[in-house]
Amino acid sequence: MDVLFEYEWIRTIAYYSVSLLALILFLAIFEIVTSYRNWYEIKNGNIAVALATGGKIFGMANIFRHSIEHSDSLLTMLGWGVLGFLLLLFSYFMFEFLTPSFKVDEEIQRDNRAVGFIAMIISVGLSYVIGASIIGR
């Protein structure tokens, strides 16, 4: 396998494929933990859900970007990506916990764009913190 990874285009396809599959899995997990159905709400024009989901996608992609840059193997890259996902998931629960005056999921489902925007910014912002903390090589 190491011989194949000497070719940059094969390495690129491998990192892309693993990252994409992990992103799909992570989005499915987010779908389970939210009280609304992301893709149903997006299909029906819910901008708040689109913002929050877009932030999760961007956040995970940013974490994988850093994990690819600082890893010397697919397994190490995936490990950092999983840790980053768990930290983003934890942040999602903390956002809900730190806003006792309203339920984040309910507000996003009601298309409260302010809450959806803040959820997006939290995911994107913390992905930079998580990405910056990834060390390797």
In terms of residue numbers, what domain contains 39? 4-133
Return the pLDDT at 2: 63
User: Is pLDDT of 101 > 60?
Assistant: yes
74, exposed or middle or buried, with CB in 10 Å at 0-12, 13-18, 19+? Answer: middle
Is residue 109 a contact partner of residue 41, using CB atoms and an 8 Å limit?
Answer: yes
Residue type, 130: I
CA 92 – CA 90 distance, rounded (Å): 5
Return the pLDDT at 73: 87
Quick count: other Cβ atoms within 10 Å of Cβ 38? Answer: 19
Token pair 């987010």 in the structure block, residue:
30
Return the pLDDT at 76: 92
CA 115 – CA 134 distance, rounded (Å): 29
Task: Please give the C-alpha separations between residue 130 and each of 60, 64, 71, 97, in angstroms, as whole numbers.
Answer: 10, 10, 15, 20
What digits encode the pLDDT tens for the residues 32-78? 999 999 999 999 999 999 999 999 999 999 999 999 999 888 899 99
CA 63 – CA 61 distance, rounded (Å): 5
Instruction: Please report how many Cα atoms fall inside a 13 Å half-sphere around the Cα of residue 135, on the Cβ side.
Output: 1
Q: What is the total count of domains within the chain?
A: 1
Task: Please give the C-alpha separations between residue 76 and each of 13, 28, 131, 132, in angstroms, as whole numbers.
Answer: 16, 22, 14, 16
